[in-house]
Amino acid sequence: MQPDPAPAPAPAAVPATPRWQRLWREAVRDPRELLAMLGLDAVAAGISDAAAAQFAMRVPRGFAARMRPGDLHDPLLRQVLPVVDEERIVPGFALDAVGDGAAKKADGVIQKYRGRALLVATGSCAVNCRYCFRRHFPYADETAARDGWAGAVAAIAADPGIDEVILSGGDPLSLATPKLAELSAQLAAIPHIRRLRIHSRLPVVLPERVDEAFVEWMSALPWPVAFVVHANHANEFDASVDQALARLRRAGAQLLNQAVLLRGVNDSVDALAELCERGYAAGVLPYYLHQLDRIQGAAHFEVDDERARALHRQLAARLSGYLVPKLVREVQGDPGKRPL
Ligand SMILES: *Cc1c(COP(=O)(O)O)cnc(C)c1O
Ligand code: SF4
């Protein structure tokens, strides 16, 4: 008989994959599967394989669970389902609607406005929103993470006029927490940074992302944190989202919401008022209501300016002043978002 081999050395503690990363990978990517889950017919829904090939569908299962079964016009479904309307070429709707190319300061750093620099932390998102400019740049090859943050951090360090760094993307929370910690450690050495801002849709579409490790990281940051989430409809909130937002608040973040005005999703004063009130109940103040960026494939979501203004006026007549978001549009070359 052979002697037993020496026992293998105990494996070094391999950190378990965080739960949110598993949920991320299990997202629904097949439009037919999503429709079947909701008891809907693919033909009636007008889904488009061409649109899905151009910009893949991606929907976390928890987000899909907040859709109303049997309702083709569900406001959450409309935001994520690839449909034939996207194939229409509409004059004025371009591939790069916001002119980010012109505002580049370094790889992954965009500065358009005084005092604040936007850091494109990553190109990925947990959900693919059909109206997003990202549909034409899904890979964002120029993220700030690529060289271990060196180029981005050097560009910010070299400009004392920057006092606020905005982590954006893609979705910055698609980066693992240790990666975010790497970045914040480098930024902490820059004396002129006084505020950090995070733009992320994950607390809403994949609230499990706000786990203990993340909260620990955020609580220890040396700056006040403004956390701007992105919800377009009251139905996007549920108990799991409320919990994630409560954790962010306990970690010291000021919570704000930006929404996009979308035809067929939230273009009624009732839907907008409910969104603002539901967000506030979860500790989130309305910040911006954006007019759609005019990108190819999103024309069917557009609400014209006159209707947008009318909706906004009605909203202001209904709600407390602090519950009314600013109605804005991004215009290339402007010193900030342009009020309508
Ligand atoms: C929208 C945006 C900001 C943030 O603008 P605020 O009005 O401060 O919210 C900053 N940088 C860029 C490039 C932007 O597009
Ligand atoms: S950047 Fe925001 S709006 Fe665009 S796909 Fe990602 S989560 Fe959606």
- At residue 182, what is the residue type? E
Q: At what angle do helices 212-219 and 177-187 cross, to 10 degrees?
A: 10
> pLDDT higher for 106 or 215?
215
DSSP string, 222-254: SS-EEEEEE--SGGG--HHHHHHHHHHHHTTPE
What is the position in ligand 2's atom list of the atom closest to the CA of 133? Answer: 4
Q: Are 164 and 190 in contact (CB under 8 A)?
A: no
**What pLDDT shows up at residue 6?**
52
202 lines ligand 2 (CB under 6 A): no
Report whether pLDDT(139) > 70. Answer: no
- DSSP 3-state percent helix, strand, coil across the chain (nearest 5): 40, 15, 45
Name which residue sits closest to atom 4 of ligand 2, judged by CA. Answer: 132
What is the position in ligand 1's atom list of the atom closest to the CA of 228? Answer: 9
Task: Quote the DSSP letter at residue 192.
Answer: T
- At residue 136, what is the residue type? H
Name which residue sits closest to atom 9 of ligand 1, judged by CA. Answer: 337
- Our mutation pick for probing the ligand 1 site, out of 100, 119, 166, 227, counting the most ligand atoms within 8 A of Cβ, is 166
135 lines ligand 2 (CB under 6 A): no
| Opening angle at CA 172, ends 167 and 173, nearest 5 | 130
126 lines ligand 2 (CB under 6 A): no
Q: What is the band of 1 on the pLDDT scale with cuts at 50, 70, 90?
A: very low
Q: What's the CATH fold of domain 101-339?
A: TIM Barrel (3.20.20)
Distance 114 CA to ligand 2 centre (A): 24
Nearest to 29 by CA among 52, 62, 1, 3: 52
Cis before 283 (ω within 30): no
H-helix or E-strand spanning residue 317:
helix 305-318
Highest mean pLDDT among 3-17, 127-141, 220-234: 220-234
Q: What is the band of 103 on the pLDDT scale with cuts at 50, 70, 90?
A: confident
Beta-sheet pairing, 225-230 with 164-168: unpaired
Annotated domain spans of the chain = 19-87, 101-339
Percent of all residues in the chain with a pLDDT value above 90, rounded to a whole number: 84
Nearest ligand for residue 60 CA: 2
Q: Are 194 and 222 in contact (CB under 8 A)?
A: no
Report whether pLDDT(271) > 50. Answer: yes
Distance 123 CA to ligand 2 centre (A): 10
**What pLDDT shows up at residue 95?**
86
Beta-sheet pairing, 116-120 with 164-168: parallel
- At residue 109, what is the residue type? V
Q: What is the band of 4 on the pLDDT scale with cuts at 50, 70, 90?
A: low
**What pLDDT shows up at residue 205?**
98
39 burial type by CB count under 10 A (0-12 exposed, 13-18 middle, 19+ buried): exposed
129 known ligand binder: yes
What is the position in ligand 2's atom list of the atom closest to the CA of 128? Answer: 5
Residue 224 CB partners (closer than 8 Å, separation 6+): 194, 195, 196, 252, 254
128 lines ligand 2 (CB under 6 A): yes
> pLDDT higher for 6 or 111?
111
- Our mutation pick for probing the ligand 1 site, out of 100, 132, 256, 337, counting the most ligand atoms within 8 A of Cβ, is 337
125 known ligand binder: yes
Q: What is the band of 273 on the pLDDT scale with cuts at 50, 70, 90?
A: very high
Distance 65 CA to ligand 1 centre (A): 32
Residues with CB under 6 A from ligand 1: 103, 110, 112-113, 116, 118, 166, 336-337
